[in-house]
Amino acid sequence: MTISNNQLRKMKSAARLYAVQALFQMEASGQTVERVIAEFETHRFGEIFDDVEMQEGDVDTFRMLVEKAVDDQAAIDQMTDRALVAKWPIARIDPTWRALFRAAGAELRNKQTPPKVVIVEFVQVAEAFAHDGKEPKFVNAVLDHMAREARPDAF
């Protein structure tokens, strides 16, 4: 079966959302990378939830984001800390945003996707988790700073 470019974009977008969820779940439950990846690929991709079928995720993108976020967590967290104001180190922010910044940082450091695409995609993920509408603007500002540090050549 051939996948269209549009379908592949949707699958990569879904993989980003799933990566944030997986990283959050790992932090909350102490699960290993292998276990959470297996769970998501087996049970979450394409899951039917309240009569709505979830999008299939791009397995390669999902695995890269989760594995690189874990492998490079210290460097990504330091990059995130530099993007946050001094009184709000990454350890003090909501675990959802911590997971999002780690997944986005992994993609920025991977250097395969243009930084502006990474920012737009993860701001859309933030919109899925936003409570008061301010979070996507916060995420956009932090990711812009992170992208300029990780990929100064792209700006």
Q: 22: domain CATH number? A: 1.10.940.10
Does residue 154 lie in a domain region? no
Portion of the chain with pLDDT greater than 90, in percent: 69
Partners of 48 in the β-ladder: 53
- Cα-based distances in Å from 112 to 27, 39, 45, 61, 127: 26, 26, 23, 11, 24
Tell me which residue range forms the domain holding 15: 7-149
The tally of domains found in the chain comes to: 1
Does residue 95 lie in a domain region? yes
Whether this model's pTM surpasses 0.85: yes
Q: Is the pLDDT of residue 52 over 70?
A: no
Average pLDDT, integer, range 100-129: 96
Phi, psi values for residue 125, rounded to 5°: -65, -45
Q: What is the pLDDT of residue 24?
A: 97
Distance CA 137, CA 127 (A): 9
Q: Is the pLDDT of residue 138 over 70?
A: yes
Q: Is the pLDDT of residue 59 over 80?
A: yes
Q: Is the pLDDT of residue 53 over 70?
A: no
Does residue 104 lie in a domain region? yes
145-154 residue pLDDT tens: 999 999 999 8
Distance CA 149, CA 155 (A): 10
Q: Is the pLDDT of residue 118 over 80?
A: yes
Q: What is the pLDDT of residue 3?
A: 81
Does residue 155 lie in a domain region? no
